[in-house]
Structure 1
Amino acid sequence: MTTALITDSHCHLDFPDFEGKIGDYVASAAEAGVHRMVTICTRLRNEPSVRAIAEAHEPIFYAAGTHPMSAAEEPLATVDELVALAAHPKFVGIGETGLDYHYTADSAEVQKTSLRIHIQAAQETGLPLIIHARAADEDMARILSEEHANAPYSCVMHCFSSSAELGKAALDLGFYLSMSGIAAFPKSQELRDIFASAPVDRILVETDAPYLAPPPYRGKRNEPAYVAHTARVGAEVFGMSYPEFAAQTETNFERLFSKAVLPKASAA
């Protein structure tokens, strides 16, 4: 039986956990049906090495931005800088960017400035914005809405684990919610209920590898292959078979990340 194909929409393959072994992780992902992944650069000075990973492996695409927890330590990105990166054929999204007041509330103002710069780049390029939101729901909903009223853009709430209110605000703007391993944790029923109330055509799946491995690997290093475990929980949440849910998330991913196109297999 052919394994249903699925995409890991958010991972960090430039992290030391994967150094020198990315080909092995791509191969194990393929065995699990994970035929495509987007690796995310969180500090723009690392963009060349992340780009090199995408260039070296056909199933890997990439995005780049300044993570909100690094916004105070990194040079502020410019719109022109982000727009220039978007010229690369495998560069498929802007971010991750966002707001994180859990550990880094003291840099809230620079985070907000950085977020608006990334949003403008998404507006100018037409590429989707990749949002990290933690303990900042009110500011996040307000800024996303204000900027969307100025000029539309597309967006995914990566590793969504925020409130139902922020989820609704994002969905009302036409954005997407991404399920990570958190949604598969036994104690995450409230989060699963938020996903269950969302339109299934607005759902993506991701690992955020090397973080947040889903059961049965919780507490271990996460990897793209494990997105299939989160997707199996997603299928249960939406009352679908795994192949149906995998196919739906593929459609959703390709609608949002329209640049992340794999070459068609040639006919025999």
Structure 2
Amino acid sequence: MIFESHAHYDDEAFNDDRDELLNSMTEHGIEYVVNVGASLASTATTVQLVKKYSFMYGAIGVHPNETKELNENNYEWLKQQCKQDKIVAIGEIGLDYYWDEPDKEIQIKWFKRQLELAKEARLPIIIHSRDAAKDTLSIMKEEKAQELNGVIHCFSYSKDMAREYLNMGYYLGIGGFVTFSNAKKLKEVVEYVPVENMLLETDSPYLSPVPNRGKRNSSLNIPYIAKAIAAIKNIDYDEIINITNNNARKLFNIR
């Protein structure tokens, strides 16, 4: 059975068929899904989703591009959400320098604060890092994030950067990008990294793998990702599924 470690089923892309799709997960071999907050609003809807679906767990947090909405009052609200049932991680949090807003200083401030939140809640973290490799790693080391454990979502950096995170005990989230013909660097990382340090993810509704690239993504596409990893590493598909399932259970403390 597949463990989907990162999806956004609260997204409006699922408004027309959310219940139908999610109710079909088990019959399609999806055992668990972690729905990941990316804003205050999506954190709230994530909390509601995990109450409704027995196979779904949640992560609460504010994506770096949404950190301008944070203040001390709603940060306290985030703290309270950590105590909700079936919340298993803080995320997705981190840095994103692809866009000019919000300012780097704002992103860094709330990245550090949400790392503090994870320490207080004793929860692992889901890290978003885009065009911010150096700052993300240096802040995580400065804040002693190796004490937290977690996953680098949608990993897109070099093999050397992968090694840094492996040395910190982190998992790498591998998604649909690994199926793209221009994903040479990621394929080199997948070849290098042990399966014991990988999680399967889709980032649904984004980043659909080949052959569904450009369409709305869902957890039902994970077999394409797992098959691509299996081919790169010359490992049996079922072994990829089983090991990554165990990895996710361990990280998110799901027995």
Cα deviations by residue, 1:21-52 (Å, 9 ceiling, x for unpaired): 22222244323311211111111234332211
Aligned counterparts of 1:173 and 1:45: Cα–Cα separation in 2: 31
Report which stretch shifted further, 45-54 or 226-235: 45-54
Corresponding residue number in structure 2 for 1:146: 142
* The one of 216, 226, 229 aligned to 2:224: 229
C-alpha separation in 2, matches of 1:73 and 1:35: 34
SS at structure 1 position matched to 2:100: helix
2:65 — aligned with what? 69
TM-score (norm 1): 0.89
In structure 1, what is the Cα distance between the partners aligned to 2:72 and 2:244?
A: 33
Residue matched to 1:266: none
How many angstroms apart in 2 are the aligned matches of 1:84 and 1:238?
Answer: 42
> Size of the alignment, in residue pairs?
255
**Shift of residue 77 of structure 1?**
7.5
| Residue of structure 1 equivalent to 2:21 | 25
CA 1:214–1:14: 2 relative to 1, 3 Å:
same
Distance 1:128 1:70, change over 3 A: same
Which residue number in structure 2 is paired with residue 240 of structure 1? Answer: 235
Deviation at 1:60, TM superposition (A): 1.1
For structure 1, the residue ranges without an aligned partner over 5 or more in a row are 262-268
Q: Greater shift after overlay, 117-126 or 136-145?
A: 117-126
Q: How does 1:28-177 map to 2 (within 5 A)?
A: 28-75=24-71, 80-104=76-100, 107-148=103-144, 152-177=147-172
Q: Distance in 2 between matches of 1:197 and 1:47?
A: 34
The separation in 2 between residues aligned to 1:195 and 1:239, in whole angstroms, is 11
Q: Distance between the aligned counterparts of 1:60 and 1:89, measured in 2? A: 11
2:162 is aligned with what amino acid?
Answer: G
Partner AA of 1:164 in structure 2: K
Whether the 8 Å contact between 2:60 and 2:82 is mirrored in structure 1 is no
Which residue pairs with 2:215 in the alignment? 220
- In the superposition, relative to structure 1, how do residues 140 and 79 fare at CA in structure 2: closer, same or farther (>3 Å)? same
Between stretches 41-50 and 210-219, larger displacement belongs to 41-50
Structure 2: distance between partners of 1:205 and 1:163: 19
Structure 1 segment 188-207 matched on structure 2, within 5 A: 188-207=183-202
- Determine helix, strand or coil for the equivalent of 2:123: coil
Q: TM-score when scaled to structure 2?
A: 0.93
Displacement of 1:244:
0.7
RMSD between aligned residues: 1.9
AA paired with 1:163?
S
Aligned position for 1:265: none
Matched, 1:251 2:246: yes
- Write out the 4+ residue segments of structure 1 that deviate beyond 4 Å after TM superposition: 76-80
| Larger CA deviation: 16-25 vs 134-143 | 16-25
Query: Residue 195 and residue 251 in structure 1: after superposition, are their counterparts in 2 closer, same or farther (change >3 A)?
Result: same
Deviation per CA, 1:142-182: give whole Å up to 9, x if none: 01111127x71111001111233332221111111000101
